[in-house]
Amino acid sequence: MKNKIKVQRAIHNLTQAELAEKIGVSRQTINAMESNKYVPSTVLALKIARLFQIPVEEIFLLDEED
């Protein structure tokens, strides 16, 4: 699963640490998601979408192999 978290962070002028604090995870978790090494839970994906005020489908994209 690919994502646009890094793009949305830039749009909202947030660091990884700031985003992590706002959604209750570690900076390392944000880094792992941005590196496509970690797929978030549904709850976490929805928290991120709510924070950025966009549909979850605009942040998280399924790959062909997913």
* pLDDT tens sequence across 18-47: 999 999 999 999 999 999 999 999 999 999
Q: What is the DSSP letter of 39?
A: P
Is residue 1's pLDDT more than 80? yes
CATH of the domain at 20: 1.10.260.40
Q: How many domains does the chain have?
A: 1
| Structural domain containing residue 26 | 2-52
Q: Give domain status of residue 66, yes or no.
A: no
Q: Give domain status of residue 60, yes or no.
A: no
d(CA 65, CA 44): 22
Question: pTM score, two decimals?
Answer: 0.91
Q: Give domain status of residue 19, yes or no.
A: yes
Q: Give domain status of residue 35, yes or no.
A: yes
* pLDDT band for position 51 (cuts 50, 70, 90): very high
Q: Give domain status of residue 13, yes or no.
A: yes
Q: Give domain status of residue 23, yes or no.
A: yes
